[in-house]
Amino acid sequence: MDTSEDILQQVSPDLVRGSETARRSKAARLSPSFISWLQAGPMMLVFLAFFLIPLVFVVIVSFWDYNEYQLLPAFSGRGYTDTFEGCIAQLPDLCTIAKTYLKTLKLCFLVWVITLFIGFWVAYFLAFHVKSKTWQMGLSLLCTIPFWTSNVIRMIAWIPLLGRNGLVNSGLVKTGLINHPVEWLLFSEFSVVLALVHLFTFFMVVPIFNSMVRIDKSLIEAAYDAGATGFQTLVNVIIPLAKPGIVIGSIFVITIVMGDFITIGVMGGQQIAAAGKIIETRVNALQFPAAAANAVILLVITFLIITMMSRIVDIKKEL
Amino acid sequence: MKEGRPRSFYVLAIFFAAYTLFLYGPMIAIYVLSFQGPQGGLTFPMNGVSTFWIAKLFQGTGIVDLGAAFRRSLLLGIIVMIVTVVLSVAAGMAFRRKFKAQGILFYSAIASLIVPSIITSLGISLEFRIIDDLIKGTFNENFETSMGLLTSGLGAHLTWTLPFGLLIMFAIFNRFDPRLEEAARDLGATPWQAFRHVVLPIILPSVIGIGLFGFTLSWDELARSSQAIGAVNTLPLDLQGLTTTVTNPDIYALGTVISAVSFTVIALALGTIHMLNKRQAAKGSDAGKGLV
């Protein structure tokens, strides 16, 4: 056998011995796909056990029957019929569940519009006006830190400001703008929207900022050279290129607000009904199939919103 | 570029400053109020300055068993942090190659991030209820529950922290130069050696970021804990319970203590990241060292 290896063997025995061991160790090594499974498997298992299977259980249990204290594993549509009780009989008036979802959508829309406005301009300032990388990092960190701290604390932080005897009311009374404290500042829809904006604008700032820093600055200069006004550049260059970030941020904010029950509970003084609160109330009453049915409805609505939004942009490509 | 700053800079700078004030103002208000005097109430003006309400928390005479909840939250936070770091780095490495089920894992992570927390939480609680019923029915009549801090609770927190960990890993490897690893391989390093001595030191600052996310997200987590954690409470759950009956500044004191832990962890992590980056900048370059 006169292979190139034999020739090499004669010229330089050491080299071939080296390749010999290399080949042997390669055979002993694990196959790449097995290593991938080993690396990604544990995370997959966690999602399987604590996310995917639980979701399946939510759907299954939503079709189970129940009485005052336990689940009855037999097919029943009671979870759904209890939820929509009286919806048809009451027409044309809206039933409780329809009103609740409309209220949730309204809150959601308000929070979305406000967080989008604030998030866009904060991200714009950081991406285009802050030139130094150090300042850019420092200021984005400044926006991020509150996200790492407790939501409940950030909610109750509004109490000393908005309460009946809070800073805002006493300030307004002192300056003579109002005669007596106003009540709608706290435990109202106003305080709920305010707190949600306060908590979740972060989810708009980060993705929009990420899209914006990737925009090639020469495109903006080109627009400027071609005679575009600042507004035209914004509408025709920056917004289209920042669209992926805007869509991702919107998905985050909308899904969080749709499912929220804690902020709406605490800041609404436990008085405002919302999609997430229905689930919580049903669970507290141990009506699990009804809770699960509501979870399925909420899931479907959330899914519809996300599908609609992801038509605008391919999320996976943008990450 | 043009000299000077356009007017829009000043408008947006003021807007940004106002946003920052909006972010931090209320939080600072409650940190200040937690130092109310013993006679102080929930709102300004301050009625004296003292550490009365914070001391009251630590005496355990207050509203919650702070010590026990504190230890539980800390334990869970640390375990979540470790598991998040290990699983995220491993999965992040896997994503550098194509492998089957890549899409499933990616979409599970994204879905886990955006499916409303209450649904995930309810699902986990249903799952464990069904498991409990199975155990009761087949093995042990007197079995209580398999739900708990380190079973259902840990799982619930991981569904929140792992997606963040994975996304950070994607961001890291988007910027990672694979030639560094090739160089290590060419020099005869085994895959493990290449990871241990080349890849890990480079990605370490961001890995600490993942740990930071893991701990603080778990430490402050509420929505997913609410249904899924079983009979015990974590600190945020206790805090939420207090909001409905709040009459004393001790709730602010508790808030201040929880925030202090968050801020300490954030500061430690950022300090370490900064130190590692500096070290990398100093040792990573061979400028001025000549041929050795």
Cα–Cα distance measured from residue A285 to residue A21, given in angstroms and rounded to the nearest whole number: 68
Cα–Cα distance measured from residue B93 to residue B172, given in angstroms and rounded to the nearest whole number: 10
* Residue contact A43–B227, C-beta within 8 A: no
- A–B interface: beta-carbon pairs under 8 A: 260
* Residue contact B119–A149, C-beta within 8 A: no
- Give me the helices (H) in chain B, please: 7-33, 52-59, 66-94, 102-114, 117-138, 154-174, 179-186, 191-194, 200-219, 223-228, 235-243, 250-284
B252 touches chain A (CB under 8 A): yes
* Residue contact A170–B44, C-beta within 8 A: yes
Interface test mutation site (partner A, options B3, B30, B31, B115, max chain A beta carbons within 10 A)? B115
Q: What residues of chain B lie within 8 A of the CB of A198, using their CB?
A: 22-23, 26
Give the CA distances from residue B231 to residues A10, A49, B32, B152, in Å, rounded to whole numbers and listed in that order. 75, 21, 33, 11
Determine contact, residues B160/A55, Cβ cutoff 8 Å: no
- Among A167, A262, A295, beta carbon nearest to B223: A262
CA distance A227 to chain B (A): 15
Q: Which residues pair with A66 in a beta bridge?
A: A71
Backbone angles phi, psi at A90, to 5 degrees: -80, -10
* Residue contact A163–B101, C-beta within 8 A: no
Q: What residues of chain B lie within 8 A of the CB of A185, using their CB?
A: none
Characterise A269 by phi-psi region: left (phi > 0), alpha (psi -120 to 50), beta (else): left
Cα–Cα distance measured from residue A162 to residue A171, given in angstroms and rounded to the nearest whole number: 11
* Residue contact B239–A302, C-beta within 8 A: no
Q: What residues of chain A lie within 8 A of the CB of B170, using their CB?
A: 319
- Among B122, B158, B222, beta carbon nearest to A152: B222
* Residue contact A40–B91, C-beta within 8 A: yes
- pLDDT over 90 percentage in chain A: 34
- Among B12, B106, B159, beta carbon nearest to A51: B159
| Element at A73 (helix H, strand E) | strand A71-75
Q: Which of A90, A109, A128, A102 is nearest to A239 (CA)?
A: A128
The ipTM value here is 0.89
C-beta neighbour count of B289 within 10 angstroms: 7
Task: Give A4-42 pLDDT, tens digit per residue.
Answer: 555 545 544 444 444 445 544 554 567 888 888 889 999
Interface test mutation site (partner B, options A121, A139, A152, max chain B beta carbons within 10 A)? A152
* Residue contact A280–B100, C-beta within 8 A: no
Per-residue pLDDT 10s for chain B (292 aa) are: 445 677 888 999 999 999 999 999 888 888 888 887 777 677 667 777 777 777 777 776 555 677 788 889 999 999 999 999 999 999 999 998 888 888 999 999 999 998 999 999 999 999 998 888 888 888 777 777 888 888 899 999 999 999 999 999 998 898 888 898 889 989 988 888 899 999 999 899 999 999 999 999 999 888 898 888 878 888 888 888 877 776 777 788 888 888 888 899 999 999 999 999 888 888 766 666 665 5
Residues in chain B: 292
